[in-house]
Amino acid sequence: MTAESMDATGFENRPGTRDDLPWLNGLHRLRQAGPLTPAHRVRDDGEAISTRCVHAGTYEDRATGAVGTPIFPSTTFRFSNTTYESFLEGYVRDIPTYTRYGNPSQWSVQLKVAMLESAESALVLSSGMAAIASTLFALTNRNGHIISSYDLYGGSYNLLHSDMHPMGRSVSFVDALDLTQVEAAIREDTQMMFFELLSNPLMKAIDLLKIADLCRRRNILLVVDNTFLTPISCRPLEFGADVVIHSGTKYLNGHSDITCGAVAGSRKLIDRVWAQMLRFGGSLDPFVCFLLERGLKTLAVRMDAHAARARRVTEYLESHPKVLRIYSPYSASYGYPVLHQYCPELACGMLSFEVVGGNAAALTLLEKLRIITSATSLGGVESLASLPFNTSHSGLTLQQQKVIGLNDGLVRLSVGIEDADDLCRDLRLALDSIGSTGEGS
Ligand SMILES: *Cc1c(COP(=O)(O)O)cnc(C)c1O
């Protein structure tokens, strides 16, 4: 590769690629693409997010005119001079060589995620946990310190709790809602804060703007898990986060039929996560990329549908005498209004509620549901209910559960896109069947 074909950042300036980037001065637009080929659709005239869901990143196959991205199952790609140069010059991420390193099917869906999250670059991985592990290890180093919350997805908590210390990182767990605690945890060696925007299952929202400001002032990377809100509700990079992570298994794919993860941020940071992913090996299979890309096309309409039903279900549960408390951003009693600062158009299907009669009654409730399935996970078109005490939070001691605020009888609901009246009727029949002592009646 000659010096003339390199741009100032050192990435290859492929003919046609630069000219395809009219977004360069756009406010929330990608400033630098990548990786991509000239066939990848990256035009951006400031389209709305639902349009991006459908079109962004599509591989427009010029030979056939196919309207959708082809699947590139090939694990390896014919060497060219550019391939050799990419190894020597260090831009391997931009050239298809071997699928763990990069593949046009991955690039399509990565570009879509990047353009939805207002990121320069994105990476897809084999699970949300692969995304989290690769990011935490890539962006910290030995003797580094991470601040996180004890109110975290169980897998993330376990990773931080069990695996970071043996690898030379230390971790402080704080109450992310208490900014004084967050600030007090900062040390000389603090390199990263890692938080979820909306906690599971109580829907506690962190003060993203204040935490981002704190991180900026103290030169700490802010990584957030945006699985619950999705870029339809919130694009954390626009509010000061450095990196955003998703379990794509949930809303991004939306059909409870693939496991995948995604990371988005600046090209510089995502390049480092990519290099870590190469070593850990959690790359995403091209067939799964195809499914994720297909799922993402309907993300905006699905989230609107989830939101409309979650709103109705919240209203219904609030009126039911067997429901003691409801934790829903659609509830008038929702305790974390700060969410609306960075989520002006909230669209989320998650909520929790406590039933009269404690965990025994909650178990009965799950058994009686007919449309809503008793299962873990979330974010799919089908409604799912689970009890945090015996699933997601079963690893916590009773005392830890109390600290987080998990009370007896708590039910978590991932509201799907079924008819709202059907969902409310299903809940009514199940709620009516539990006695106030918790026994089925
Ligand atoms: C499910 C989930 C994860 C883990 O994702 P996997 O795809 O199961 O690896 C991480 N964070 C949150 C908030 C989740 O809900």
Question: pLDDT of 35-59, one tens digit each?
Answer: 999 999 998 888 999 999 999 999 9
Band the pLDDT of 12: cuts 50, 70, 90.
Answer: very low
Q: Rounded to a whole number, what is the largest CA-CA distance in the chain?
A: 79
Mean pLDDT of 418-441: 84
Q: In this structure, which residue's CA is closest to atom 6 in ligand 1?
A: 128
Q: What is the pLDDT of residue 396?
A: 83
Spell out which residues line ligand 1, taking CB within 6 angstroms.
Answer: 127-129, 153, 155-156, 196, 200, 225, 227, 247, 249-250, 259, 261
Spot the catalytic one: 93, 250, 322, 368. Answer: 250
Contact 195, 227 (CB under 8 A): no
Q: Are 37 and 59 in contact (CB under 8 A)?
A: yes
Distance CA 244, CA 325 (A): 31
pLDDT at 400: 86
241 vs 245: CA distance, rounded Å: 11
pLDDT (0 to 100) of residue 392? 84
The per-residue pLDDT for 403 is 86
Q: Is residue 100 annotated as part of the catalytic site, yes or no? A: yes
Helices assigned H by DSSP within 164-266 = 179-184, 208-218, 230-233
Question: What is the CA(228)–ligand 1 centre distance, in A?
Answer: 9
For a pLDDT cut of 90, what percent of the chain falls above it? 83
Q: pLDDT, tens digit, for every residue of 188-211?
A: 999 999 999 999 999 999 999 999
Kindly tell me if the per-residue pLDDT of 9 is higher than 60.
Answer: no
Q: Has 250 been annotated as catalytic?
A: yes
Going by alpha carbons, the residue nearest to atom 2 of ligand 1 is 247
CA distance 30 to 55: 15
Distance CA 91, CA 287 (A): 25
| Three-state DSSP class for residue 349 | coil
Question: In which residue are the tokens 């009219």 written?
Answer: 22
Is pTM, for the whole model, over 0.75?
A: yes
Which tops the pLDDT comparison, 29 or 318? 318
Query: Could you give the 3-state DSSP secondary structure of residue 229?
Result: coil
Average pLDDT value for the chain: 91
Supply the DSSP symbol for 267.
H
Q: How confident is the model at residue 287 (pLDDT cuts 50, 70, 90)?
A: very high
Q: Catalytic pick from 91, 153, 316, 342? A: 153
Nearest-angstrom CA–CA distance, 436 and 424: 20
For residue 33, what pLDDT is reported? 61
Average pLDDT over residues 258-284: 97
CB 277 within 8 A of CB 127: no
Distance 437 CA to ligand 1 centre (A): 34
The atom number, within ligand 1, closest to the CA of 377 reads 1
Peptide bond into 38 cis (omega under 30): no
- pLDDT in the model for residue 17: 36
Average pLDDT rounded to a whole number, residues 302-326: 98
What pLDDT score does 11 carry? 43
Nearest by Cα to 265 from 236, 241, 243: 243
- Say what the alpha-carbon torsion angle 369, 372, 378, 380 is, to the nearest 10 degrees: 170
Choosing from 100, 210, 425, 428, the catalytic residue is: 100
What pLDDT band is residue 90 in, cutting at 50, 70 and 90?
Answer: confident
Q: What is the percent of the chain where pLDDT is above 70? A: 91
